[in-house]
Chains A and B, each alone.
Chain A
Amino acid sequence: MNFQTVIGLEIHVELNTKTKIFCGCKNEASREPNENICPTCMGYPGSLPRLNQKVVDYALKAAMGLNCEIQRSTHMDRKHYFYPDLPKGYQITQAAKPLGINGQLYLEKAKKTVRIQRIHMEEDTAKMMHRKESTEIDYNRSGVPLIEIVTAPDISNEKELLEFLEELKNLLSFFEISDLKMEEGSLRCDLNINVVDQDRDIKTPVMEVKNLNSFKGAVKACLYEQRRLLETLETGCELTKETRGWDQKKEETKTLRKKEDSLEYQYFIEPEILPLQLSEGKVRNTASRIPELPQKKRSRFKEQYDLPDYDVRILTKNPYVADFFEQTVLVCYAPKRISNWIMTQLLSEMPRGLEGFKELPLKPKDFGKLMALMEGGKIPKKVGEKILKEIIITGENPKRVLENRNLGPITDEQEIREIVKELINKHRKALQDYQKKPGKTINFFMGKGMERTGGRLDPCKLREAIKQELLLINQQKKEE
């Protein structure tokens, strides 16, 4: 069978504005349920919404980043349905005139453009918590600003799906408008998928898959659903449009709602919020403040710093790591060394991974100084790593750490001699092989010496000292 999978996405991004979309309540996670609430986000009678202009700014940035046409005159709509988590009986959203339309995102690996149909602003619903005997409602999330991004059905397989999600997250991270955490729900993705049998020219109905809480989950759900739909195509089983949920533990999707009883939302213009007019100035101003976006950054990094693709991808994952890299390079021009250190030594010390570059106590200036110390041969790698472990937490100047902690190189020959003597006394057994394999014995003591001093010994001088000392011992033995 010659088949084609067709995937479109609906992505919800929680915006990290200080306050909610229609009231002055704080937009942040709270310890207790129902801490950040007021009559407006509770949908109390007599309350009125007020559109947070920051939400418009944030949505505008995202729309521009995705190359959308901006609709200058737009408005909010009401989408009606009854559900306990929807306090007003309608959601304030944009239906008829979304802020952005006809955008696109290019996938470099798939060499494909995915069209963005629309980006619009809307409010989040409250959260329901199901207990044994009852369901409780937490209105903290009610009125949290969202943007919804809807793609055309341009994605054909799980690889493209993953690349799209990664690319989108990568892009949005540069606007700093959201935490973008899928596990925490600040980035949510619904999959619309169907399979077309090109030989017989038949296709399955579209399945909407919800509750995907990681990129991995999205890929697995995509493969699962694709297989399920293919099987039904082969067996000729009849299907109807459905909304399905991904069960992360069982790794399967199951029916949430058949689309036959799909809701009629009875949209109409929100009369309590005046229509929105985006001035030429505002649009231009936002456009001028759009940062360099990942794809452009990647090609520049590649050219300017002569780095391999792999390094470039990681260094442009978010604006914080990209800035950190570039500012470090300004202090010490050693792009590849810096890139390596960021990807290995630095990242291994950062529990939050690349995200951690946002609030790193270590400043690129100091990291650059450390790189310069190594670049100039002043300290060996081992010492550098030791210093890094300290300054990544304290944000101290690496030179000062080097001086204060006795981490400087030991170059005094007498001192090295003493250390070597001590080591030989400690490891007399190692001398037995000296006649047969002198190189091995020397290397053994080299290692012990470095270990003892944390790599601070000048390797040439150490080797010299070991050789001489071993020779001496050997001579003494012969004399005996």
Chain B
Amino acid sequence: MDNQRLTIQQIQKKLIDKKLSAEELFKETLDKIKEKEHKIRAFISLTEEEVLTKGRALDRKLQKGASLGNLEGALYSVKDNIMVKNLKCTCASEMLKNFIAPYDGESVAEVNNAGGISLGKTNMDEFAMGSTTEHSAFKVTRNPRDYRRLAGGSSGGSAAAVAAGFGQFSLGTDTGGSIRQPAALSGVLGIKPTYGLVSRMGLVSFAPSMDQIGILANNAWDMARVLETIQGPASSKDYTLVRRKPVAYHRRLESIVEDQESKKEKLLKGITIGIPGEFFEIPLEKDVEKALNQGMERLKDHGAILISLSIPHFHYSLSAYHVLTMVEAVSNLARFDGVAYGNRASKYESIIDVVEKSRGQGFGDEVKRRLILGNYILSKEKVSLARAKRVQELLKRDFQKAFQQADLLFTPTTHVTAFKPGKRSNSPVDMQLLDQLTVPASLAGLPAVSVPCGNPENLPVGGQLIGNYFDEPVLLRGALGIETLSETMDPEQIKVR
């Protein structure tokens, strides 16, 4: 079996049993990057030089028989809107092309403390605005399952990196679906935790009331392990975090499965999964529909009870989401004025000129489009803002009602499979529709995960599970239930239509 498809736990076991050296393992990954990155273009910055050195240090540590940290042996990447000290943090924008992060984001620091080793920073839509990673100022990321297609977005680089086997996991960000949607299109798992579970310190804000750092990974086990590591550190400087006792997500999964290979039929015993009808009113591609049905079968096989229920305000959520996030974006991107850092126009006559030119040159079209609309709403359409807030409240209520009947909700992540460049990015509405199934959970601040389901020989399809607040343990159980076994997910084995 390909070493790159092992779970972190399996890697650690092999390392401890001396069946594999870290240097060897890391070398395999670097070779894979060398071979494929020029086609996939997942990274904005690569830090491969340090990886082998760190691998050798890990091997020496293993020789001494030292115990391993939670993420030791794992390689990971970070979306380029999260600070990694001394690395560029560009947000895929000309505005921050040369901006060097002066500190580590809290989630990055936690992963590093647990022994994770960084491969670099991944490509994205500029300032996380977009759903295809075509709005990067630097490059377009391709889908490792089919290089002619896109990986989705905005965390497209992270999804592609994980799907291509460039490391075990990636830290992405999700405001309206930016982790779940590319995960679905690229055939990996992607979780957006409950708003307030993972610190946003070090994340360049787009819409802070919904921005959330999450994880893209190849399996639910690794996801649990990383979530365990990055959940709100006690010393966090993010004071919007909900302070709670840390949860051992990985052990919780273990205690249910006991043995990862057997007894899976009991995995979801006693779990009720709601199927919200409104999510299925969206016209779904045939493959998506088929895969979802297979996903539901799988859930039932594991002992879950499926019921249908309703999220009545679902259809308002996309409009509400865009109003709220565009308004917040206006505010959060105001700091990029060319004064203290970031792009400053080379020629200017006055301070207003500095700001106008620096922003005019620094921001790309999608960002500008949202800033203009956001400003319009703030100055002329405050009614829309109030209505959007109202929708948000109503949606929260809908979900609370749903969670009185069900433990989890199951929906498609996207209505389409991976598509080719230009197909959707030319029309903002077409692009926005890519988020229509993921924004409801974002508006409500609920945790949600996208898991590959269906036939792995076709283009990937994601099924979305939405959980109640801080109910990540059950969400991960559901993810494990749907998860197609990782070894069959190797892109090399996928035949493209």
Residues of B within 8 A of A89 (CB): 331, 333-337
| B277 → A minimal CB distance (Å) | 32
Q: Which of B381-429 touch A at CB < 8 Å? A: 385
| B346 → A minimal CB distance (Å) | 15
Q: Is the pair A44, B102 in contact by a Cβ cutoff of 8 Å?
A: yes
Q: Which of B202, B240, B333, B351 contacts A46 (CB 8 A)?
A: B202
A46 to B209, CA, bound (A): 14
User: A45-73 interface mask toward B, CB cutoff 8 Å, 1 = contact, 0 = none?
Assistant: 11111110000000000000000000000
| Band of interface residues on A | 20 to 34
SS of B interface (majority): loop
A87 to B203, CA, bound (A): 17
B280 contacts chain A at the CB level, 8 A cutoff = no
B contact residues, total (Cβ < 8 Å): 43
A223 contacts chain B at the CB level, 8 A cutoff = no
A297 to B382, CA, bound (A): 49
| A51 → B minimal CB distance (Å) | 7
A84 contacts chain B at the CB level, 8 A cutoff = yes
A80 to B379, CA, bound (A): 12
Q: Which of B96, B209, B239, B339 contacts A45 (CB 8 A)?
A: B96
Q: Which of B312-349 touch A at CB < 8 Å? A: 327-328, 330-331, 333-337, 339-341
Q: Which of B344-399 touch A at CB < 8 Å? A: 351-352, 354-355, 375, 378-379, 385
Closest to A82 in B: B355
Residues of A within 8 A of B459 (CB): none
Asked whether A88 and B375 contact (CB < 8 A) given A39-B102, A46-B204, the answer is: no
| A135 → B minimal CB distance (Å) | 8
The stretch that binds B, out of A153-161, A193-201, A266-274, A393-401, is A266-274
B201 contacts chain A at the CB level, 8 A cutoff = yes
B440 contacts chain A at the CB level, 8 A cutoff = no
| B377 → A minimal CB distance (Å) | 10
Q: Is the pair A82, B89 in contact by a Cβ cutoff of 8 Å?
A: no
Additional A-B contacts beyond A48-B239, A139-B340, A271-B240 (9; CB < 8 A): A44-B340, A46-B201, A46-B202, A80-B331, A82-B355, A87-B339, A89-B334, A271-B328, A272-B205
B83 contacts chain A at the CB level, 8 A cutoff = yes
| A24 → B minimal CB distance (Å) | 9
Residues of A within 8 A of B385 (CB): 268
A264 contacts chain B at the CB level, 8 A cutoff = yes
Residues of B within 8 A of A39 (CB): 102-103
A89 to B332, CA, bound (A): 8
Q: Which of A78, A84, A266 contacts B339 (CB 8 A)?
A: A84
A42 contacts chain B at the CB level, 8 A cutoff = yes
A90 contacts chain B at the CB level, 8 A cutoff = yes
Q: Is the pair A82, B337 in contact by a Cβ cutoff of 8 Å?
A: yes
Asked whether A48 and B200 contact (CB < 8 A) given A43-B340, A82-B355, A273-B239, the answer is: yes
A137 contacts chain B at the CB level, 8 A cutoff = yes
Residues of B within 8 A of A139 (CB): 340
Residues of A within 8 A of B379 (CB): 264, 266
> Can you list 25 pairs linking A and B with CB atoms under 8 Å apart?
A39-B102, A45-B99, A45-B335, A45-B336, A46-B89, A48-B237, A48-B239, A50-B237, A50-B239, A78-B331, A80-B330, A80-B331, A84-B337, A88-B334, A89-B337, A90-B334, A137-B339, A137-B340, A139-B340, A264-B379, A271-B208, A271-B240, A272-B205, A272-B208, A273-B240
SS of A interface (majority): loop
B238 contacts chain A at the CB level, 8 A cutoff = yes
B73 contacts chain A at the CB level, 8 A cutoff = no
| A129 → B minimal CB distance (Å) | 14
Closest to A88 in B: B335
| B188 → A minimal CB distance (Å) | 25
B82 contacts chain A at the CB level, 8 A cutoff = yes
Residues of A within 8 A of B101 (CB): 46
Residues of B within 8 A of A45 (CB): 83, 89, 91, 96, 99, 204-205, 335-336
B105 contacts chain A at the CB level, 8 A cutoff = yes
Residues of A within 8 A of B334 (CB): 80, 82, 88-90
Residues of A within 8 A of B91 (CB): 45
User: B182-211 interface mask toward A, CB cutoff 8 Å, 1 = contact, 0 = none?
Assistant: 000000000000000000111111011100
Residues of A within 8 A of B328 (CB): 268, 271
Q: Is the pair B339, A274 in contact by a Cβ cutoff of 8 Å?
A: no
Q: Is the pair A84, B351 in contact by a Cβ cutoff of 8 Å?
A: yes
A234 to B15, CA, bound (A): 92
Closest to A22 in B: B239
A137 to B102, CA, bound (A): 19
Q: Which of B200, B204, B239, B351 contacts A51 (CB 8 A)?
A: B239
Residues of A within 8 A of B340 (CB): 42-44, 87, 137, 139
A272 to B351, CA, bound (A): 28
Q: Is the pair A272, B337 in contact by a Cβ cutoff of 8 Å?
A: no
User: A80-119 interface mask toward B, CB cutoff 8 Å, 1 = contact, 0 = none?
Assistant: 1011100111100000000000000000000000000000
Asked whether A46 and B203 contact (CB < 8 A) given A84-B339, A137-B340, the answer is: yes
A268 to B375, CA, bound (A): 12
Closest to B202 in A: A46
Q: Is the pair A274, B335 in contact by a Cβ cutoff of 8 Å?
A: no
A55 to B331, CA, bound (A): 24
A223 to B328, CA, bound (A): 44
Closest to A78 in B: B331
Residues of A within 8 A of B355 (CB): 82
Q: Which of B206-243 touch A at CB < 8 Å? A: 207-209, 237-240
Q: Is the pair B335, A46 in contact by a Cβ cutoff of 8 Å?
A: no
Residues of A within 8 A of B240 (CB): 48, 271-274
Closest to A274 in B: B240
Which of A44, A80, A88: most chain B Cβ within 10 A?
A44
A23 to B416, CA, bound (A): 45
Asked whether A46 and B375 contact (CB < 8 A) given A82-B352, A89-B334, A273-B239, the answer is: no
A272 to B201, CA, bound (A): 10
Residues of B within 8 A of A44 (CB): 102, 340-341
A51 to B202, CA, bound (A): 18
Residues of B within 8 A of A88 (CB): 334-335
Closest to B333 in A: A89
Which of B203, B207, B337: most chain A Cβ within 10 A?
B337
A47 to B91, CA, bound (A): 15
Closest to A24 in B: B237
A44 to B91, CA, bound (A): 13
